[in-house]
Amino acid sequence: MAEEVKLYGTWVSPFSRRIELALKLKGVPFEYIEEDLSNKSPELLKYNPVHKKIPVLVHNGKPIAESLVILEYIDETWKNHPILPQDPYQRAMVRFWAKFIDEMVLATGWKANFGEGKEREVAIEEFAEQMKFLENELNGKDFFGGETIGFLDIVGNLIAFWFPVRQEALGIEAFTQEKFLVLFKWIANITKIDLVNECRPPREKHLAFVKARIEGLQSAPK
């Protein structure tokens, strides 16, 4: 039976882009469906009735939601170019830091950018601490995955490409090469990989999009 693999995403979401990257790393052919989040398709609502969110991967008719869950599924289903390490302890560490990025770093990054007064100051310090934890995890390696990119590099894309764009759009300098030399070296390493660049929004288009969103947020009634 021919495999049918569909990915529902949006071009600007780090969460669907990471699924795209994992599929391409493994050479899995798939159909990509761009969702308009202001007018979600009946398919998306059918496939993810719980969260009604992208990304959704549909493999031979069976839907999976939640990007970290999808990444694990992809690694268990297509075994070439494993993205998780084999050792159970190393796997646990990758899962721990992926969760850390999606839960802690994302929330702190938001407050560091859009918080007000004291909340913002505290978040900027917390963000710096979180980045130091991640630098420590890189620990001299070229990639989180070691000699090549793996699960955590895919998840960390968010930090590599989405945070700098938001920062530039806001005109702030919390995440800089001077402060986070190790992470910026890692960003330089992953940027050398063609597939990584294919699976992120074009920089200028991304920046224009984020600037427009920020204007929308700032002009919204509080």
The residues that touch a second copy, with contacts defined as CB under 8 A, are 50, 59, 62, 64-66, 68-70, 72-73, 76-77, 88-89, 91-93, 95-96, 99-100, 104, 133
What residues are paired with 31 via a beta bridge?
6
Q: From the centroid of its chain, how far is CA 4?
A: 24
The smaller minimum CB distance to a second copy, of residues 77 and 189, is found at: 77
Query: In the complex, what is the shortest distance from the CB of residue 108 to a second copy, in angstroms, rounded to a whole number?
Result: 12
DSSP per-residue string spanning 43-74: HHHHH-TTT--S-EEEETTEEEESHHHHHHHH
The smaller minimum CB distance to a second copy, of residues 122 and 172, is found at: 122
The sign of the dihedral angle between the CA atoms of 191, 69, 129, 170 is: positive
Q: Are 111 and 166 in contact (CB under 8 A)?
A: no
Query: In the complex, what is the shortest distance from the CB of residue 31 to a second copy, in angstroms, rounded to a whole number?
Result: 19
Query: In the complex, what is the shortest distance from the CB of residue 197 to a second copy, in angstroms, rounded to a whole number?
Result: 28
- Distance CA(17)–CA(157), nearest Å, equals 9
The smaller minimum CB distance to a second copy, of residues 17 and 53, is found at: 53
Query: In the complex, what is the shortest distance from the CB of residue 130 to a second copy, in angstroms, rounded to a whole number?
Result: 8
The smaller minimum CB distance to a second copy, of residues 55 and 201, is found at: 55
